[in-house]
Amino acid sequence: MEKKKVSWGRVMTYAGAFIAFLIGSGFATGQEVLQYFSSYGYLGILGVVVVFLLFLYVGVDFVTVGQKQKFPKGSDIYKYYCGNIIGKFYDYFSVAFIYMSFIVMIGGAGATLNQQYGLPTFVGGIMMGILAAGTVIFGLGKIVDVIGKIGPAIIFLTIILGISAIVKNPQGLASANEVIPKLNLLKASSNWFYAAASYVGFCMLWLAGFMTSMGASSESKKESVIGAALGAVGFSVALAIITLGILANIVQLAGSMVPALILAKNINSALAIIFSFIVVAGIYTTAVPLL
């Protein structure tokens, strides 16, 4: 067989889709990062490393299996791994779980517009519901292309936000471990490792069908595998930087609904307005494939 050249455009689209799907309301608002990583202090960075290794494994495995098996439905991946009985359970459970996750996205959009503009939370929720439903109804086949282009842009801007938050308050980062025990922070689990593992656990239910379908639609196994690997790298780097950025400002951010907007406002009030749209875009990129 003649070896095909790798299309780096397609690779970046796959990587972008992987990243964009994971962003969601929790990551984009900073609330998820605060609960799963920053609330554990410097140990949260070890959590990010665990997340990277697990995402690298599951992302590459899902697209490889999808490319090889060409399942009629993405959800067939559950039967492939777990057999007919347990696989069927996960198939139904994942539908319920993904629906509930979609509702979380709606809530994140409502909270963002409420905090930044004072709008009732239902306004942002309804707007996100209409946007997501419209995208799904009028162009499911183009979802990967659409969100694949939004994802890298959001990650780039999030990295800038995180770096700026660290640079503006390096003393806060140095004293974070001492301050955190005195704060009443909501944590995802009893320790950093369980939090990281559970983070990947719920994301796997999102990723399974989506990444399998992406692998099945890919003409090149190499492109989809490289794309998944780069997606895991890009997301994890952004996750580590925003974790440190939140750590540097943990006292100010404790108890806030949308920590990312406060970080943006600390830099410039106009940037907070711009970033509110970025957060909504991040929520959109996860809400659409979930729906």
Diameter over CA atoms, the chain: 63
Quote the mean pLDDT of the chain.
Answer: 89
Domain spans of the chain?
A: 8-290
Higher per-residue pLDDT: 230 or 279? 230
Domain 8-290 listed as CATH 3.90.1010.20: no
pLDDT for 37 equals 97
User: What DSSP line would sit under 155-189, residue for residue?
Assistant: HHHHHHHHHHHHHH-HHHHHHHHHHGGGS----SS
Higher per-residue pLDDT: 63 or 17? 63
| Arithmetic mean of pLDDT, 74-102 | 91
pLDDT for 2 equals 41
The beta-carbon contacts of 251-254 under 8 Å, at least 24 apart in sequence, are 251/172, 251/179, 251/183, 253/30, 253/34, 254/183, 254/184, 254/185
Instruction: Classify burial at 79, counting beta carbons within 10 Å of its beta carbon; exposed 0-12, middle 13-18, buried 19 or more.
Output: middle
| Arithmetic mean of pLDDT, 41-61 | 96
**Half-sphere exposure of residue 135: CA atoms within 13 angstroms, side-chain side:** 20
| Arithmetic mean of pLDDT, 254-274 | 89
pLDDT for 26 equals 76
Q: Look at residue 100 and tell me whether its pLDDT is greater than 70.
A: yes
Query: Residue 251's pLDDT band (boundaries 50, 70, 90)?
Result: very high
Q: Look at residue 1 and tell me whether its pLDDT is greater than 50.
A: no
pLDDT for 140 equals 58
Query: Residue 146's pLDDT band (boundaries 50, 70, 90)?
Result: low
